[in-house]
Amino acid sequence: MVVDVGLTLGALQQMVEQNDDKNEEAHKRLRGDLRTAEDKIYDYERRLAALAMQITRLEQAPPPDVSSLRFPLPIVVAIAAGFITIGAGIYKAQADVQAFHAEFVNRMEKQQWEAANTAEKSEAATSTLKESLNKLDAQQKLQYAEFQQFRQDIARRLK
């Protein structure tokens, strides 16, 4: 039994050719990409070898002689000025801290003196007030005693 799928031999041939064309184009692209990748790998390997040779050459080279190193005068002056400026700033900061500390200590001593002086004045005022109150109390007692005596005298005279 033969099944008719509606495709002719010519249509199948055309599909196969189109598939071959697509595969051939994809294959060309892949070969081009592979060549580009191989070129990049070769270039990286060449650069790596050059870097390795340069590192080896630098490792084997004698260290530079820094004893003959000379700085131009403007650079030396700039470096010295920088150090002097930093030193002056540190000195100024220390002087400011010391001045602040001395002012703080003086202010604290003054407050302590004022507190002690106020306490002494307060004690003196309190003792003076106590003495005045004691005198007033004594006078009041004396007046009360005199008033009682006077009352008793009046009560006796009225009898």
Instruction: Tell me how far apart the alpha carbons of residues 80 and 143 are, in angstroms, rounded to a whole number.
Output: 92
**Residue 4 or residue 22, greater confidence:** 22
Residue 19 has pLDDT above 70, yes or no: yes
pLDDT band at residue 4, thresholds of 50, 70 and 90?
Answer: low
What separation in angstroms does the CA of 118 have from each of 14, 63, 121, 124?
119, 78, 5, 10
31-61 confidence digits (pLDDT tens): 999 999 999 999 999 999 999 999 999 889 8
In one letter, which amino acid is 110? Answer: K
Type of residue found at 1: M
Supply the pLDDT for residue 91.
Answer: 95
Residues 41-51 as b/e (b if ≥16 CB within 10 A, e otherwise) read eeeeeeeeeee
Position 2 pLDDT exceeds 70? no
The type of residue at 56 is: T
The CA-atom distances, in angstroms, between 25 and each of 14, 32, 38, 135 are: 17, 11, 20, 129
* pLDDT number for residue 6: 60
What is each CA distance from 108 to 30, 98, 101, 114, in whole angstroms? 89, 15, 10, 10
**pTM of the entire predicted model:** 0.34
Residue 7's pLDDT band, with cuts at 50, 70 and 90, is low
At 13, is the pLDDT very low, low, confident or very high (cuts 50, 70, 90)?
Answer: confident
> How is residue 9 written in tokens?
């031999």
Q: Give pLDDT tens digits for 85-109.
A: 999 999 999 999 999 999 999 999 9
